[in-house]
Amino acid sequence: MNLSSWLRRALLLGGLMATFASQAEPPPPIEGGFTLVVLPDTQKYVWQRPELYTLQTGWIAANVQRYNIVRLLHVGDITQHDSEAQWAFALRAQRVFSDLVPAVYAQGNHDMAYVNKFRSRVSRVSKHITLADYQRQAGFGGVYDREPERTENSFHFFEAGGAKWLVVALELAPRDDVLRWANELVARYPERRTIVLTHAYMRPDATLYDETVPNPQGKEKNRGIGSAVTERLEGGYNDGGGMWRKFVSRHANIVMVVCGHVCTSAYLASRGEHGNTVHQVLVDYQNSPNGGNGWLRLLQFLPDGRTVQVRDYTPLLNETSADPACVFEFKLDAP
């Protein structure tokens, strides 16, 4: 019995999952295409249900070749409390695929410590997603130039679908100087289609977190990320609107932003300063039963080099989502 089967049986015996009577198949692979797997916030798994994170990573490991998975993107909130115990569970799950497919990790607010009751940029991310770990991966490019030993901000290369790609992973609510670095980096590789990976960027209503925009419902002072996340962050911060204005919108080769932080799914297409379309994709299932019910996202790139098919699948239930917010496609600008 393989790991996936064992976990399903254990969950069934424990009465912790719904019946499999109405199973659906996972989305079919795209012949001649490739796939990026997006892992939504795993914080509640490593806090309360670590076996579900291992179930996800086991499915990914078993399907690398079938789906031609070329990268895994984690949107952040790897842990709930940035504790050693939760990192141990996370690393145990991530080792399942670590030799099979390179992974890129964003930092979430729950991957940050509290200092004097406020979130701090102090974090265990670099201790457990180490520079040496990244250096062992094919295509690793480097990290933020002012913090050469830290991995909260990193960049990665790959080639797939006849194109050259760059992935830039940014810390939670990045500082201005981090965006300076990111701007210089993306400008250095204009021939590469670029994906930005970060944690808190877009709201569930498909608008950006933006503290310059009033909330029309009056429930918050503005539509920013919120003081519970950003107050007293060292070095300042940028929410989604700040990231768009200071970085994302400025580059013709940025094609996509992938983020998490809030449930469940949203999509926004915006025009950059060069007339290019930037596809912004949000996914987070932490408020689903069992801390997420094993849902992960497949970004399936078709052989035409432009069409991206979005499908959400859970190996726990063996179901592909039929929610229109989670089943859609978009087309990248022509090269």
Q: What percent of the chain has pLDDT over 70?
A: 92
Task: Please provide the average confidence, as pLDDT, over all residues in the chain.
Answer: 92
Give the integer Cα–Cα distance in Å for 54 and 37: 15
- pLDDT 10s digits, 287-334: 999 999 999 999 999 999 999 999 999 999 999 999 999 999 999 998
Is the per-residue pLDDT at 24 higher than 90?
A: no
Say if residues 159 and 165 touch (Cβ distance below 8 Å).
Answer: yes
Half-sphere exposure (CA, 13 Å, Cβ side) for 105?
A: 26
The pLDDT-based confidence of 13 (bands split at 50, 70, 90) is: very low
The pLDDT-based confidence of 178 (bands split at 50, 70, 90) is: very high
Is the per-residue pLDDT at 3 higher than 90?
A: no
Per-residue confidence (pLDDT) for residue 16, from 0 to 100: 37
Identify the structural domains of the chain with CATH numbers, from first to last: 3-8+37-331 (3.60.21)
Is the per-residue pLDDT at 69 higher than 70?
A: yes
Is the per-residue pLDDT at 78 higher than 50?
A: yes
- pLDDT 10s digits, 187-218: 999 999 999 999 999 999 999 999 999 887 76
Q: List the beta bridge partners of residue 284.
A: 264
- pLDDT 10s digits, 240-263: 999 999 999 999 999 999 999 999
Which residue has tokens 């497919």?
A: 101
Q: Give the number of other Cβ atoms within 10 Å of residue 225's Cβ.
A: 24
